[in-house]
């Protein structure tokens, strides 16, 4: 891990996106899609009922960096050929459960439904994977996917993740015990795929 990684939150850019630090003012934009039952169907939350509920989540996600436990970027689309975005968050992605000694972390992500199928999340995750392996010094990136979330499982496999096993009744989500699929991507496999 590079020594200054936790001094200042790193904004990342792709061809079409700006990945930036979350702000309290992002709560309304994030509420827009987290109140959508189709978006939250496979997340660890019910559809949000109030902006205040979303504001608490935004504060928690922002605190990951402040506590040195991870990073969560707000995904913003650039406008035209400009590197300036509209500054409206259309999704988030990032790392949590960062085990620094073991050089591993877990990723999470979600995107507003109107942006599905446009390659936006793929572009964002590829960027944060490079950041994780290079800047954070990770050796292993994990992802947990609810059994039945076929789209997310395929998405991870296209990025080079391998399914390791199913964790039976691993989490209590939306008032029921749910099975989760554990996926992983190792640094050596990631860099081999980049050649």
pLDDT greater than 70 at residue 153:
yes
Rounded CA separation 20/187 (Å): 24
The phi and psi torsions of 192 (rounded to 5 degrees) equal -65, -35
User: What is the pLDDT at residue 83?
Assistant: 55
Name the percent of the chain lying above pLDDT 70.
95
What are 95-126's pLDDT values in tens digits?
Answer: 999 999 999 999 999 999 999 999 999 999 99
In the predicted model, what is the mean pLDDT of the chain?
94
| Mean pLDDT of the region 83-96 | 86
Query: Chain-centre distance of CA 103, in angstroms?
Result: 18
Domain ranges of the chain: 12-137
| Mean pLDDT of the region 9-17 | 97
The phi and psi torsions of 37 (rounded to 5 degrees) equal -60, -30
What are 175-195's pLDDT values in tens digits?
Answer: 889 999 999 999 999 998 887
Superfamily of domain 12-137: Gcn5-related N-acetyltransferase (GNAT) (3.40.630.30)
Find the range with the poorest average confidence among 4-13, 14-23, 76-85: 76-85
User: What is the pLDDT at residue 3?
Assistant: 52
User: What is the pLDDT at residue 126?
Assistant: 97
Contacts of 133 (CB under 8 A, 6+ apart): 141, 187, 190, 191
Name the percent of the chain lying above pLDDT 90.
85
Phi-psi region of 78 (alpha: psi -120 to 50; beta: other; left: phi over 0): beta
Confidence of residue 76 (pLDDT cuts 50, 70, 90): very high
């Amino acid at each position: 891990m590079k020594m200054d990684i936790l001094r200042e939150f790193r904004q990342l850019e792709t061809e079409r996106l700006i990945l930036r630090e979350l702000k309290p003012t992002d709560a309304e934009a994030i509420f827009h899609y987290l109140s959508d039952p189709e978006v939250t169907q496979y997340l660890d939350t019910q559809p949000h009922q109030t902006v205040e509920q979303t504001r608490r989540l935004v504060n928690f996600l922002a605190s990951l960096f402040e506590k040195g436990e991870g990073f969560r970027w707000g995904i913003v689309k650039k406008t035209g050929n400009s590197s300036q975005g509209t500054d409206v968050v259309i999704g988030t992605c990032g790392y949590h459960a960062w085990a620094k000694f073991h050089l591993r972390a877990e990723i999470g992500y979600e995107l507003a439904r109107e942006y599905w199928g446009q390659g936006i999340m793929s572009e964002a995750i590829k960027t944060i994977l490079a950041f994780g392996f290079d800047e954070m010094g990770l050796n292993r990136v994990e992802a947990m996917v609810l059994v039945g979330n076929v789209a997310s499982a395929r998405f991870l496999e296209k990025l080079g993740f391998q399914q390791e096993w199913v964790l039976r009744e691993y989490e209590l989500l939306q008032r029921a015990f749910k099975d989760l699929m554990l996926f992983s991507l190792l640094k050596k496999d990631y860099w081999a795929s980049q050649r």
